[in-house]
Amino acid sequence: MLLLYIGCMETTADISMVRHALAALAYRAQRAVENVAPEFATFAGAGNQPGRILAHMGDLMDWALSMVEGHPAWRNSTPQTWADEQTRFFHALTAFDQYLAAGKPLHAPLERLLQGPIADALTHVGQLAMLRRLAGCPAHGENFYVAEIHAGQTTAEQPAPVKPFGSA
């Protein structure tokens, strides 16, 4: 299937939309991981521990990049410290975004990347937010529709919320 896909060109609009989705993922992920104690990584209140979830999110972004580069490879990484996993996730997300921005050939369909690793990572952001609430350190809600999210904005450095819930 990959051999048939190589050479097909995605439109600029397609790439822009996926890059915006990656920026939304970065923004939401930062809200889910910021301002929690390192011990949150090992919270065992419901299912997978947050540190394992975040490590998996980094694995998903590494996998997505390997697919667009033309050498698909999956790995299950061993979770590191909470801070190290945050760094790894945002680094992998940014590397994937930068590859898309560079206009290099894509060796995987963007639709599959969106329905697979990107959507999976967004689901895990929701899990982290839920686990924060269960651990007694809930993230503040906000209106994501008005958030300042732009393609290329994929690092842990994210703008402040525009309209947190409960604000005027």
pLDDT digits (tens, 9 = 90+) for 6-32: 445 578 899 999 999 999 999 999 999
Distance CA 5, CA 114 (A): 16
Q: Is residue 55 part of a domain?
A: yes
Would you say residue 54 lies in a domain? yes
Q: Encoding tokens for residue 33?
A: 């991981």
With tokens 């929701």, the residue in question is: 126
9 found inside a domain: no
- Tokens representing 64 are 């997505």
Residues 22 and 93 sit within 8 Å (Cβ to Cβ): yes
Helix ranges (H only) for the chain are 2-5, 12-33, 50-69, 82-101, 110-113, 119-134
Answer yes or no: is 127 within a domain. yes
Residues 89-111 pLDDT 10s: 999 999 999 999 999 999 999 99
Q: Angle at CA 110, nearest 5°, toward 161 and 155?
A: 30
Q: Please name the residue that has the structure tokens 């940014």.
A: 94
Is 123 within the bounds of a domain? yes
pLDDT at 54 over 50: yes
Range of the domain at 45: 21-146
Answer for the pair 46, 134: CB distance below 8 angstroms, yes or no. yes
* The residue type at 12: T
Integer Cα distance of 106 and 114 in angstroms? 14
What are the pLDDT digits (tens) for 106-159?
999 999 999 999 999 999 999 999 999 999 999 888 999 999 999 999 999 999
Note whether residue 142 is domain-resident: yes
CATH number of the domain enclosing 100:
1.20.120.450
Residue type, 39: E
This prediction's pTM: 0.91
Residue 109 belongs to some domain of the structure? yes
Query: How many domains would you assign to the chain?
Result: 1
97 close to 67: Cβ distance less than 8 angstroms: no
Percent of the chain having pLDDT more than 90?
85
Q: Would residue 1 count as lying in a domain?
A: no
**Cα angle, residue 134 at apex, residues 57 and 143 outer, rounded to 5°:** 70
Cα–Cα distance between 15 and 104 in angstroms, integer?
A: 11
